[in-house]
Structure formats: C-alpha cells, structure tokens
Amino acid sequence: MRISNRGLEIIKEFEGFRARAYMCPAGVWTIGYGHTRGVKAGDVVNEQQATELLRNDAKEAEEVVTEEVAAEEVAEVDVEEVAAE
C-alpha cells in the first residue's frame, strides 16, 4: 500500500501546519503536520521539513498496514486449508 500525493494533501488539510512545537490535547509534543516522534519544546520546522516528516510518517504507517494485510491473508489461507482437510 502506498499513499498518494492527494492523500498527503488531505492529511495536511486535516492536520494543519504548525512551525513551532506545541502540546496537543493528548499531551504529546507535535510539530509540522502532526509529527510527534522526538519532538520537544522549542523545536521549529519549515513547511518543506514538515512535508518530509509527514512522508516519513506515512511510509512507516504504510509498512505496518502492508505487514498486517499480509499476515491476515496468510491467516485466511491457513483457515481455508484446515477447513478443506
């Protein structure tokens, strides 16, 4: 699975851009377009850096989804094989 450029734009619209780190309602330091890993008070990013952080975050999410879907497909095959026996 891979997110499209339009998908990234939708995330950007939803998240909004914040150049300076802020504490989100969940109590997590956040910056850019919703990036949280390693963010601390006083951090600053420009829009280009924030977009790159978003792309990296999306890539990590894509990898997790791909792994989970593959595991689910294997589980379905195993159930079908057992049912056929």
Query: Which residues have a catalytic role annotated?
Result: 15, 24
For residue 47, CA distances in Å to 10, 15, 53, 62, 70 come to: 15, 13, 10, 22, 34
- Helix (H) or strand (E) segment spanning residue 7: helix 5-15
Rounded Cα distance between 28 and 21, Å, is 10
Query: Which phi and psi angles does 27 have, rounded to 5°?
Result: 80, 25
